[in-house]
Structure 1
Amino acid sequence: MTAKIEIYTWSNCPFCIRAKQLLRKKKVKFTEYGIDGDEMVRAIMAERANGRRSVPQIFINDVHIGGCDDIHNLEDQGQLDKLLFAHSGV
């Protein structure tokens, strides 16, 4: 079982696309919230992300991990799999 992964995105955002590509490469399911023009959803995202309004904003098991650079930094440091697969014993 993988972690609960949520990502807030904007449809044409290159950083959002790049973050989702990494998650797909990891073969994990994630819930995507498209915020295109939806200020209510963007406000919810910002509240969860400690005021950050840029996209993407990524949460793993309800913990805010940040945006595209943050998830790729976790991957580069060998920490992302530990977060994604913590419940499966990997």
Structure 2
Amino acid sequence: MATLEQLEARQKQIQMQIQKKKRALAAEERKARNHALMVAGGLLMQHAPGGDWKRVDWDRLAEWIGRYGYKISECEAEELPMADAAKRLRSWERKK
């Protein structure tokens, strides 16, 4: 039978593994979200004046999105787990 000290050491190891896994999952989520934001920004910039982001009036764009951004909800799909949502996005990118 394990001693109390051995069990406490094992508990500490498991807690460290849990923390490491949580950090890895958070990093994976952040990476997938950043990718989605870059794709969305790219879609937006395709329609920038002359295709040049340097010509965008950001105040007017923010105002326009504030006025018409609700229409984005018309593009809603089922919510997927992060990995599946990332696959859906990459699949869409390949089709372009």
TM range (shorter): 0.3 to 0.5
TM-score (norm 2): 0.31
Q: Higher helix proportion, which one? A: 2
Instruction: Return the index of the structure with the highest Cα Rg.
Output: 2
TM-score (norm 1): 0.33
Higher RCO, 1 vs 2 (CA within 8 Å, ≥6 residues apart): 1
Q: Please identify which structure carries the higher strand content.
A: 1
